[in-house]
Chain A
Amino acid sequence: MKSHKKNRTIKRMFLWTAIILVCIISLFPFYWMVRSSLMTKTEIFGTPMRWVPEVPQWDNYSEALTRIPFMRYFWNSFLLVILNIVGKVLSSSLVAFGFSRIEFKGRNIWFALVIMTMMIPWSVLLIPQFMLWSQVGLYNTYFPLFFPAFFVDGFYVFLLRQFFATLPREYDEAAIIDGAGYFQIYSRILLPMCKPALMTVCVFTFMNTWNDFIGPMIYLKDTDKFTVSLGLQQFISQYTTEWHYMMAAATVAIMPMLVMFFFAQRYFIEGMNFAGVKG
């Protein structure tokens, strides 16, 4: 009996050692980023290295933020985030409603095709989409970066269709008896009930848009149109040895994502769980 208990204590110790180790690995780069963002240049290059700055250099932040118009980039990124969220929520919910609530001819084939869009590698679409947008004269505008959101996203359509399937059909039937059309059933009855799933769409769209680098890099030319990711990349390539400023800029670029994550992580987890369940 006693040895059993001892055995369990040892197991717990191993478990927590492993957990703490993984936590350190996960958090260390963030700690190192913030630590370096508050140091002077001499401290950064000094040996032996310091774990914390002697005097936190808060001025690094204002310096980094003035070297490149970060405030402008924040606004640009937020604008794109909002436009993408509106587009994805509208289009995915409409399409998912059609696939789950209306029995029309060819429904299963079209649904399969929409799902298949998820399997198409983005790198295959990259060049022809670029050629398409530049042919219609919309290179160096935000159109290529938000307009497609208003049409199709296989993952979100699938997610919302699964969610609609959990809502009882009796709601639709009652509404039809009351004389409602499909659009009323969609907008007045089902949409308000799938807020959690829509939140998942919102948080993932926020993340993907905020973190997107390749899209803005390919489509934007004027620096005043840049997004945070693109601006940060410019910063990194220009100030290669000024790590303290670079780390301050990176900290600022990460912040909105972190804040959003801490408030909405429930929806992130739900979305990830869903990704696994479908596999």
Chain B
Amino acid sequence: MRKEHKKMSLAARRRNVAGYLFIAPALIGMSLFYVFPMLFSFGTSFTDWNLMTTPSFVGGDNYMELMNDSVYLKSIRVTFYYTLLAVPLSNIYALLMAMLLNAKIRGRSVVRTIFYVPSIVPAVASAGVWMYIFNPYNGFLNQIFLQLGFDPKMWIYDSKQVIPCIVAMAIWAAGGTAVIYLAALQGVPSELHEAVAIDGGNGLHKFFYITVPMISPIIFYNLIMGVINSMQVFTQGYIMTDGGPNNGSLFYVLLLYRRAFEQTKMGTACAMAWILFFILGILTLLNFALSRKWVYYGG
């Protein structure tokens, strides 16, 4: 009996050692590249540090200063404005694309490829191409506007139009989300749609009473990921407009980048990062709280 017990614990010990050996890369990686940097950044956010001198402790000054920094507050407004437009619109467009793909059509895989391609090309390259399309002097949009007799616009060079333009690019690249929606649509049992048809429902009834509730967990997932990604939008603002005009596209992370790498205000930049982390946390929790009202998780 005792011998048996000892044998068991030996096997258990062997499993423990082997298990931790296998997950060792993750444990090392989490401490080196997540836990340690985050603690370091949290500490730095309470200091004044330009990388050259030794950091000096300033308490909550960095946070306080940000609250009165009009450029910073502007970047928050710009980023929220972008997120509020980009997330719903690109999700609606993606769902529309997924429904087109879900119809029984010929050449579906070709069409799916075409829908998907904009989302896989380098952001730098698509930013370059869209810069040219939006160019006020010889870009495609104004050339078309002139031929149709409309007034040309300044597009990304107008502080009011720049965010809708960048939102349009996000919508254009929503193919990845569409593929996720397609998988969800294919999981909706067709009997449910037939039942609605028997009860005399039309296409809209099917969509709102069957499709939306059945795929609501995926909608929820895409909204959460969409908010997290949109709140951290950077490349378009950096390459196409450099935050302008008149700080009209000064996204949060772009300002964070400038504070850290152009002005080397590491304390302020870290404080900004933590405030963003906090905002994203609140938004995600809010999403979860609201999800109880509309997300349907099977039987």
Chain A interfacial positions (CB closer than 8 Å to B): 15-16, 18-19, 22-23, 25-27, 29-30, 32-33, 36, 44-45, 47-49, 90-91, 94-95, 97-99, 102-105, 107, 110, 113-114, 117, 119-132, 134, 148, 150-152, 157, 181-182, 186, 207, 210-211, 213-214, 218, 228-230, 232-233, 236-237, 243, 246-247, 249-250, 253-254, 257-258, 261-262, 265, 268-269, 272-273, 275-279
Contacts and interface: CB of A to CB of B under 8 A. Distances in A.
B181 interface: yes
B165 interface: no
A278 B16 CA distance: 28
Contacts of B16: 104-105
Interface string B78-110: 000000000000000000110010010100000
Contacts of B96: 18, 22
Given A26-B175, A265-B113, A99 B280 contact: no
Contacts of A120: 34, 38, 277
B172 A29 contact: yes
A36 B130 CA distance: 13
A179 B22 CA distance: 19
Question: Which of A119, A230, A265, A276 counts the most B-chain CB atoms under 10 A from its CB?
Answer: A276
A102 B218 CA distance: 31
Contact of B129 (A32, A182, A276, A277): A32
Given A125-B33, A233-B124, A272-B176, A22 B100 contact: yes
B37 A232 contact: no
- The interface centre, meaning the residue of B15, B29, B221 with most chain A CB atoms within 10 A of its CB, is B29
A236 B218 contact: no
B104 to A, nearest CB: 10
B34 A125 contact: yes
Interface in B45-80: 51
Chain B CB within 10 Å — which of A128, A210, A268 has the most? A128
Contact of A48 (B147, B234, B260): B147
B245 interface: no
Interface string B6-44: 000000000110111111011111101110111011001
A275 B120 contact: no
B29 A91 contact: yes
Given A94-B25, A272-B176, 7 more contacts: A22-B96, A29-B129, A114-B30, A128-B270, A152-B34, A232-B124, A279-B218
Nearest to A233: B124
B157 interface: no
Given A104-B16, A129-B33, A246 B128 contact: yes
A128 B114 CA distance: 39
B97 A236 contact: no
Interface of B: 15-16, 18-23, 25-30, 32-34, 36-38, 40-41, 44, 51, 96-97, 100, 103, 105, 111-118, 120-133, 135, 137-138, 140, 143, 146-147, 172, 175-176, 179-181, 183-184, 217-218, 220-222, 228, 231-232, 234-235, 239, 252-253, 256-257, 260-261, 266, 269-270, 273-274, 276-277, 280, 284
Contacts of B30: 113-114, 117, 151-152
A60 B146 CA distance: 28
Nearest to A87: B25
* B contact face: mostly helix, strand, loop, or mixed: helix
Nearest to B107: A19
A121 B277 contact: yes
Contact of B232 (A98, A122, A129, A134): A122
Contact of B222 (A16, A91, A253, A279): A279
A117 B128 contact: no
A94 B27 CA distance: 12
A211 B122 CA distance: 4
Contacts of A132: 36-37, 40
Given A110-B26, A121-B232, A265-B113, A236 B124 contact: yes
Contacts, number: 267
A23 B175 CA distance: 11
Contact of B118 (A26, A36, A249, A277): A26
A148 B128 CA distance: 29
B100 A26 contact: no
14 contacts: A23-B111, A26-B172, A29-B133, A32-B129, A94-B25, A98-B19, A119-B284, A124-B276, A132-B40, A152-B25, A218-B261, A253-B122, A257-B122, A265-B116
Nearest to A278: B221
A128 B35 CA distance: 10
A233 B221 CA distance: 32
A100 B93 CA distance: 37
Given A22-B97, A229-B122, A107 B19 contact: yes
B260 to A, nearest CB: 5
B259 to A, nearest CB: 9
A221 to B, nearest CB: 12
Given A32-B140, A211-B121, A246-B132, A127 B218 contact: no
A276 B41 contact: no
A152 B33 contact: yes
Nearest to A46: B138
Given A29-B133, A182-B22, A268-B116, A121 B280 contact: yes
A214 B235 contact: yes
